[in-house]
Structure formats: structure tokens, C-alpha cells
Structure 1
Amino acid sequence: MAETTRRFLLLSDVAEILNISAAQAYALVRSGELPAIKIGGRGQWRVESSALEQYIKEAYERTRAFVQAHPFGADEEGD
């Protein structure tokens, strides 16, 4: 069965996708690192799917830059 893409995700969905706790997902939103909106009478957080994809893309870019700046085994070479 094909999965339909929802525009907005619950923080629990974000946590599941990123394999982090709900508290960590909430912290990403509260810090501004992951854009989100509050909706409804109870002010529940929603993250747009495209915002999550952008966050993931940026995380890959940060990781790539870190790996390039810190090559594996660079400290272990005695040449």
C-alpha cells in the first residue's frame, strides 16, 4: 500500500522519523533549529514535512563538513 505524504507532522512523528525521543524533538523545535507552528486550542506543535526534510538535508551537510575537517585516522598516521 502506498503511503501518502502528510503536509504536517506531529512531534511524535518527527521523533520516530529521526529515531530520537519526543523530548529531543520538542527541544529541536523550542531552540528554533527545526521550524514548527502551534495550532489548535491546546497549542499542539506541527512540523511541516518539507521543513523536516530541509533539517535532514542540513544535518547531512554539517556532517559532511565535519568529516572532511576531521578525516578518520588522521591522528593515527605517523608519516
Structure 2
Amino acid sequence: MLTLADVAEILDVTVPTARSLVRSGEIFGFQVGGRGMWRVESKELDAYVEREKAAAVARREALSRD
């Protein structure tokens, strides 16, 4: 399990950006405990990174066809 701080560090973004990615559903996460701390499974973060990589490849291929 990863905290938002962990996610932010791995992606090299700010904690508010990581929180936004989770709240928007781009990265699946869930809240635990009385204070509602967000947690993200490593496999969910890996899936997000793979989706972003695939999107980047698709954009690059689309640009090269133009």
C-alpha cells in the first residue's frame, strides 16, 4: 500500500497533484481510517503508468503520421 506522499514521490509530482489523480479516478485509491487517509495499491499505480505510457506512444504515432 502506498500513501499519497509515496505516489507523489514515485511520479515526481506534488502531493496535491497525486490527491487530484486519485480523487478524479485516474489512479484507483481508497480512504482508510477515521481521518480518511488515501491509500493506493502498487498495482494500481503501475496500471496508471502503463496507461499513460500507452497514451504517449499513441500521441507520438499520431504526430508521426501527420
TM-score of the superposed pair, with normalisation by structure 1: 0.79
Give percent identity, aligned residues only. 43
**Which structure carries more helix by proportion?**
2
CA distance in 1 between partners of 2:49 and 2:42 (Å): 11
Distance (Å, rounded) in 1 between the aligned partners of 2:24 and 2:63: 27
Measure the CA separation in 1 of the matches of 2:50 and 2:26.
13
Query: Is the partner of 2:38 in helix, strand or coil?
Result: strand
Larger gyration radius, structure 1 or structure 2? 1
Runs of 4+ in structure 1 displaced over 3 angstroms? Answer: none
What CA distance in whole angstroms lies between the structure 2 residues aligned with 1:67 and 1:23? Answer: 28
1:67, distance to aligned residue in structure 2 (A): 0.3
Amino acid at match of 2:30: I
Report Cα offsets for 1:31-52 as digits up to 9, x if no partner. 1111001001101000000000
The alignment status of 1:22 with 2:11, answered yes or no, reads no
Structure with the larger strand share: 1
2:40 pairs, out of 41, 47, 51, with: 47
Q: In structure 1, the residue corresponding to 2:48 is in which secondary structure? A: helix
Residue deviations 1:11-68 (CA, integer Å, cap 9, x gap): 0000000000101000001111110010011010000000000000111000000000
Quick one: which of 66, 72, 79 aligns to 2:59?
A: 66
State the Cα RMSD in Å: 0.8
Alignment size in residue pairs: 65
How many Å separate the matches in 1 of 2:5 and 2:52? 19
